Chains A and B, each alone.
Chain A
Amino acid sequence: MAVFDSFIELSKGLGETLRSFLFEKTVTYQYPEVKREVRPRFRGRHVLKRYDNGLEKCIGCSLCAAACPADAIFVEASENTDEKRFSPGERYASTYEINMLRCIYCGFCEDACPTEAIVLGDNYELSFTDRKSAIYPKEMLIEPVRTVEMITPQKVEPGVFKRSVPEMKDPTD
């Protein structure tokens, strides 16, 4: 009888497989061909944002580097001129590097940023073959421009972009 019992158990199990195969929605994504959309609060690889006119939001204040608990960020600032303008105001980041091996994706840099320049995006596909290529420079982090005229540095009208930190209409925002 023991042989018969085990046959019943086997068919029960296989039946469950057949039921889920026929009636349940597939959860498997065919990665990398198919990519699943990340959650709204997902914290992936950083992106340095731009304003609509193409100027960089980052002003090189180094507060992200100060807030970073893993010491993954390195910023070096230089002075803007109206002839060669990278960002509004007097200061821009001439060097901006994040060591992706050190980063723990905590998002403190986002919180510290006074201009909302650094944002943890949705890219989680980070792979490198050596430690040096784990350090992402500014060129890899910054958002691409939409048109050629928007490439920084830009030559702008003098005296327009004087403020580094944008004036917020509602300071509580």
Chain B
Amino acid sequence: MSKQVSVTIDGITVSVPDGITVADAAKMAGIDIPVFCHHPKLEPVGMCRMCLVEVGRPMLDRATGQVVLENGQPKIQFMPKLETACTNRVSEGMVVMTISDKAKAGQKGTVELLLTSHPLDCPVCDKGGECPLQNLTMAHGPGKSRFNYDEKMHLEKMIPLGELMWLDRERCIQCARCIRFQDEVAGEAVLGFDERGRSTQIISISDPGFDSVFSGNTSDICPVGALTTADFRFGARPWELKAEASICTQCPVGCNTTINTRREAKAGGDVVVKRIMPRQNEEVNEIWLCDKGRFGYHYTESKKRLTRPMIRKDDKLARASWDAATKLAAEKFSADKKNFVVLASGRLANEDLFNLKSLADHAGGTALLYSDMGGGELTQLVGVGAGTNIGNMGKGDAILVVASDLYEEAPIWWLRVKQAADRGATLIVANPRETKLDRFAKYAIRYSYGDEVKTINDLSKKSKISDEFAKARNAIVLFGSEGLSVNSSTAVASACASLLQETGHVGRANNGLIGVWQRANDQGAFEIGFQPEEDLEKALKGKSVYIVGADPVGDSPALAKALNSAKFVAVQEILETATTEIADVVFPAQAYTEREGTYVSGERRVQRFHAAVPATGDGKPDFAITSMVAKQMGIILEGSAASVVFDILSHSIDAFTELNYAKLAEFHGQWPIVGRGDLYYGGTTYENTQGLGVQLTPTAQTEGTVRIPKVRKEAVLRPREKDLLAVPVNKLYDLGVMIASTELLEQRIGQATFTLHSTTAKKLGVEAGQKLALSFDGGGGEAIVKIDDTISTGVVLVPRGMGLAIREPVVAHVQTRSAAGKVK
């Protein structure tokens, strides 16, 4: 704990940490000093002058340096003028007056000046109702302006900063919160001020406009309605919205969110999701949310949602009753017990996965996880210790990121790791190419694709980097799946786990291994006992397959072929996909917005999500459908309530012992204070009152040293001179079912690309922007060439989830070279 100092604010003497600002100290003491530009997550700038207060400090004798006493009390010397509470740091004996006449007059004057050029369009403003300027004008404003109404500045009202964010120049009060967020927190300086004085205005200085995946956060912290999201613009008034706690399903970070819903005539009188807002959890996402999480929810209300169970009749899917559909599936599964395969993805909740695993176990089948990445058993052994918070890591700590482009795979982790590096943590990035995180890394290690394990093992040998990692107080390793297959990523996980164990970085908070999984609940699937399969084609061929929450047919022609030759395919999905097209039976499931459940984040935090909107059609929660199928097979599984399934789960799986829904719903006060009553202070992020979740304890923490399973080394692919080594990389905005339905993100998704080194491109005779056709085992296709000179020659980067069907590193053959010129 840092040094405490005692300060007197409005007659109340409080003890606060030394060095915090007067505004924050007052907030801790329960006194609200009005602020606009000050935000507890940002460095103070003192731009808006709203927080003017009287500050007095104990008078020191110039000769002796001693505090001058008056009547036995220190003599307080007040500054002749008002000072800003946000830029002054507290010191011992400080006296602050926030509601004296002088301070009040200063605050009143500031509001009056701010309003000289603020339009009175609160009735049409999206911020109206949750607007700090509105609230502070009511509380501190003069009531009547002495300025001439006609002299207000009239500026442009609809400026697209990018396709996701709109700026209203008139409403902006130049607090620079958005600019500072992008500079300091996100580390992407894409906004700036133009002009000066009364003409100062915000502009985007990137191409494409507002090129950041954190852009939506600026609208949360904007103290006026100047920044609005294209998604929510004019969608509803804030007071009409209902709020329900949820968890983001787009990546393994597990950001806490709030789903705002409203009944809508456009949707035929249904309750619909109007916006997704971040919900404070200082240990997970703080108060931020990436744009994928904020705007990607549209798939849950897509027109392609499945509404009725269907059975294939005469080569066509026809509507059926739940009873008939589950009965058919149950018959086929029972008849083919040994060849029964459950293929589920990490899009599902723990309850669903637990029921599916129980079904597979009881029926004698196998349960496979639909993922290209392994290593989940290692994160159970040496995962991060309970109480881990990357937000607490800083000087003396180390973070190693291996084979992952965090910016593309888990943006909020990227942001938090970047901030830890800003605080002084040693950041080591090991990746075959340059990623956005390299800018903040102390050490960037480059290796060739295929040398991942060797690179990590080298960190055990003596070197400057390995010394610093070993000596770090705390160390975390994040490993991803860039350029890796199921087996090789497991090998990487094993190498990372060994490194952590050797250096003593396991079994404690802020120490351990984190998997940057491809889906939100992959970690949960591993906990429950699912395993990914390297040779998925072989595992599916000729089997009776129960596919849940996955689209293998759409992802890969090879898997489509395998499934076409499967004996029976039952698909449980929320959307029509290529896989439902070939299915024999289709079960419509409920989206995460329509039901409750739990996910396990990559940091192994179990978190609850709640139902926000009613179910679509006849859809049922996945765990209930599985229980119906099981019942027809003569197996009794709980299917009535998610909480009961979770209770059974927590009794069956050691890591979840003593967990229940009530425990997951526990919460405590967090700093900074955000939420409904404190909109002006921390923005419109929702406060967390529905549970912070519980982090699971890794085996290394309960049992001390663990034995780390060795994984057989994969042979490294070395393609012939003429061919290329195609390696999969992960992309944030891809064509996956969970993102492709969001029209707003179309531009960001873009087209599929093949990234080459310029030498390789020259050898192939292609230029950036031209089309190139490649074929490789299991897939291939045409994509646009991109040049990146940080990758090695002879390698082509192929994005996953962009229709090119790549699961693992493969040898690619160049097919044709299109000389069609530049493609836009």
Contact = CB atoms under 8 A, between A and B. Distances in A.
Contact of A164 (B124, B158, B239): B124
A116 to B, nearest CB: 12
Interface string A68-110: 0000001011110000000001110011010000000000000
Nearest to B264: A76
A71 to B, nearest CB: 11
A78 to B, nearest CB: 6
A95 to B, nearest CB: 4
B239 A66 contact: yes
Interface residues of B, number: 19
B237 A66 contact: yes
Contacts of B158: 90
A115 B233 CA distance: 21
Contacts of A76: 236, 264-266
B237 A91 contact: no
Contacts of B124: 59-61, 89-91, 164-165
Contacts, number: 54
A133 to B, nearest CB: 16
Contacts of B239: 66
Given A74-B265, A90-B158, A163 B121 contact: yes
A66 B237 CA distance: 9
B234 interface: yes
A118 interface: no
B121 A165 contact: yes
Given A66-B237, A94-B266, A162 B157 contact: yes
Nearest to A97: B265
A91 B157 contact: no
Nearest to B235: A77
Interface string B121-160: 1011000100000000000000000000100001001100
B266 A95 contact: yes
A167 B121 CA distance: 10
Contacts of B194: none
Contact of B234 (A66, A77, A97, A115): A77
Interface in B293-343: none
Interface in B221-254: 233-237, 239-240
Contact of B123 (A74, A79, A97, A165): A165
Contact of A61 (B120, B237, B265): B237
A165 B233 CA distance: 18
A130 B225 CA distance: 42
A79 B234 contact: yes
A48 interface: no
Given A61-B123, A76-B264, A76-B265, A90 B157 contact: yes
A123 to B, nearest CB: 24
A63 interface: yes
A76 B757 CA distance: 52
A121 interface: no
Given A97-B265, A162-B157, A165-B120, A90 B234 contact: yes
A65 interface: yes
A79 B233 contact: yes
Interface string A41-67: 000000000000000000111110110
B165 to A, nearest CB: 15
A31 to B, nearest CB: 36
Interface in B520-538: none
A153 interface: no
A40 interface: no
Given A74-B265, A91-B124, A62 B234 contact: no
A29 B157 CA distance: 55
A62 B157 contact: no
Given A77-B234, A162-B157, A171-B149, A59 B240 contact: no
Contacts of A59: 123-124
Interface in A114-173: 114-115, 162-165, 167, 171
Contacts of B120: 165
Given A74-B265, A97-B265, A164 B121 contact: yes
A74 to B, nearest CB: 7
A114 B149 contact: no
Given A62-B240, A90-B158, A114 B265 contact: no
Nearest to B239: A66
Contacts of A90: 124, 157-158, 234
Contacts of A63: 123
A62 B265 contact: no
Nearest to A65: B240
A59 B149 CA distance: 22
A163 B264 CA distance: 26
A59 B128 CA distance: 14
A60 B235 CA distance: 11
A106 B306 CA distance: 46
Nearest to A89: B124
Contacts of A171: 149
Nearest to A79: B234
A66 B123 CA distance: 12
A163 B65 CA distance: 61
A91 B265 contact: no
B112 to A, nearest CB: 15
A115 B121 CA distance: 11
Nearest to A164: B124
Contacts of A66: 237, 239-240
A165 B120 CA distance: 8
A76 B237 CA distance: 9
Contacts of A65: 240
A164 B233 CA distance: 15
Contacts of A114: 123
B376 to A, nearest CB: 46
A167 B154 CA distance: 12
A94 B158 CA distance: 20
Contacts of B123: 59, 61, 63, 114-115, 164-165
Interface string B664-685: 0000000000000000000000
A115 B123 CA distance: 9
Nearest to B129: A66
A94 B120 CA distance: 22
A99 to B, nearest CB: 13
Contacts of B265: 74, 76, 94-95, 97
Question: Which of B120, B123, B265 counts the most chain A CB atoms within 10 A?
Answer: B123
A117 B264 CA distance: 22
B356 to A, nearest CB: 40
Contact of A91 (B149, B154, B234): B234
Contacts of B240: 62, 65-66
A140 to B, nearest CB: 15
Interface in B406-443: none
A55 to B, nearest CB: 14
Contacts of B128: 61
A79 to B, nearest CB: 5
A89 to B, nearest CB: 6
Given A97-B265, A165-B120, 4 more contacts: A61-B123, A95-B265, A164-B121, A165-B124
Interface of A: 59-63, 65-66, 74, 76-79, 89-91, 94-95, 97, 114-115, 162-165, 167, 171
18 contacts: A59-B123, A60-B124, A61-B123, A61-B124, A66-B239, A76-B264, A76-B265, A77-B236, A79-B233, A89-B121, A90-B124, A91-B124, A115-B123, A164-B121, A165-B120, A165-B121, A165-B124, A171-B149
The 7 residue pairs across chains A and B that have the minimum distance between CB atoms:
A61-B123, A95-B265, A91-B124, A164-B124, A114-B123, A62-B237, A77-B234
